[in-house]
Structures are given as structure tokens and as C-alpha cells.
Structure 1
Amino acid sequence: MDFEKARAERKLQLQELENIRLEAYENSRLYKEKVKAVHDKNIKRREFQPGDLVLLYNSKMRLMPGKLRSRWDGPYRVEKAEPYEVFHLSHSSSSELIKVNGHRLKLFHGEKMAKNMELEIFLL
């Protein structure tokens, strides 16, 4: 009789433990969804059109000395845009095209600023 009572109690404990484990999985899934939504909301889409001037991020810069050197090379001209943020770039000094991922690019504003006569200064 005592064994039957202990067996039933142990079975209830195991079921309760299984319910807690499933609840933890569900809470983890909900947390990951919320974090992904916040992360995706803060991502800025970069869209480049053929003819735009862009700067290319140099990821190999850490191998070269000089902490004050810029990690951005360029400007390059976007020649062709493919799906999945793949861009073909050309440099004014060479005739060959390089194929790069859009995450390594940012828009170059130097040409636009050279044309503008007024420069706005914001003091923080």
C-alpha cells in the first residue's frame, strides 16, 4: 500500500517536471521571437542603384598597422545590382568589376557635398 502511494506521488512529480520543462521551452521560443522582432526592426535596408558611389569596407585592415587609417576604401561605382544584395563595383583606376556583398557597402556622400555650396553645421 505504501509503495502504491509513493508510485502515484512520483508519477505526479514527473508529470509536473515535464510540464515545467515544456513551459520553459515555450518561454524560450517567445523570448527569441521578441528579440528577433526588435533586431529586425532596427536593421536599416541599404538600397544601391547602378551609378551610385559607395565605399567598400576593408575587413583585412586588422592585419595592417595603423589604427588611424580608414577601414573604408573607395569610392567605387555600382555597375550592376543582383538579387540577395550582390553588387558589381568598378573603380575609376581599374577596368575590372568586383563582386561584393551589400553588407560591406555604404553610400559615399563626397561628390554630393562637393557640389553643394552651403554646409550645415550642427553643434551638439
Structure 2
Amino acid sequence: MNELNELRDQAYENCLIYKEKTKRIHDSKIKNRIFNIGDRVLLFNSILKIFSGKLKTRWTGPFTVTQVFPYGTVELSQTDGPNFKVNGHRLKHYFGGDIPHMVVPDLQTSPKANEFGDGSS
């Protein structure tokens, strides 16, 4: 019974050591982003991953930071809606200009489309 208790204590200590190491590795990979009031940011939208479309971007915005709360919470404002709060880990700084309304121009069919016998010649 004593050996069983010693093995249990040793397993418990090894578990604690493992948890500390994995936490240290995880924390080293987190980027500490600092946001100030008035910054323009993009918001990561994780809901889009369930829709089809591999090339669709998951970042929306830009939004403006209106308030920064402790522990990483940030309040954002949007042009046509109410302000809302998000976790700062879902944000990244936006340095570009205005996003164009039409991302993909209208594509025109090439004249070679009729070469393969669609019956319109």
C-alpha cells in the first residue's frame, strides 16, 4: 500500500510539472497586443469556418476602438450599428486604407468559350 501511495504522489507531481511546461509553451506563443482608443482594428470571425469557401477571409472590419477594459476586453464601434465588446485576442491592428466595396470585378466570358461547340456560332 505504501508503494501505491508513493506511485500516486509521483504521478501527481509529474502531472503538475507537465501542466507547467505546457502552460509556459502556450503563453510564449500568445502575442500581447496593446490597443488604444481610436485604433482601427480587424475582428476575427470564427463563425465563417463552417461555411464553404476556403478562400473567404475570416477577418471583418475595420472597427474603431472606443474603450479598453482590463484583462483584454475591448469595446468596438461600427459605422452602422451599436458598440460591442470582444476579447482582444480576436483583434489585430488595421493599417490599410478603406476597404473597397467591390472586391472582385465583373468577369467577362472570353471568346474562346464558343469554340467548343455550344451551338451559338
> TM-score w.r.t. structure 2 length?
0.70
Q: 1:10 corresponds to which residue?
A: none
For residues 41 and 73 of structure 1, what CA distance do their matches in structure 2 show? 26
Inter-CA distance 40–63: structure 2 relative to 1 (3 Å threshold): closer
Q: 1:102 corresponds to which residue?
A: 88
Amino acid at match of 1:68: L
State which of 78, 81, 84 in structure 1 corresponds to 2:71.
84
Higher helix share: 1
Sequence identity of aligned pairs in percent?
47
Equivalenced residue count is: 97
> Structure 2: where are the runs of 5+ without partners?
98-121
> TM-score w.r.t. structure 1 length?
0.69
> Deviation at 1:57?
1.0
State which of 15, 18, 25 in structure 2 corresponds to 1:38.
25
Inter-CA distance 64–38: structure 2 relative to 1 (3 Å threshold): closer
For residues 78 and 47 of structure 1, what CA distance do their matches in structure 2 show? 11
Amino acid at match of 1:22: D
> Structure 1: where are the runs of 5+ without partners?
1-13, 112-124
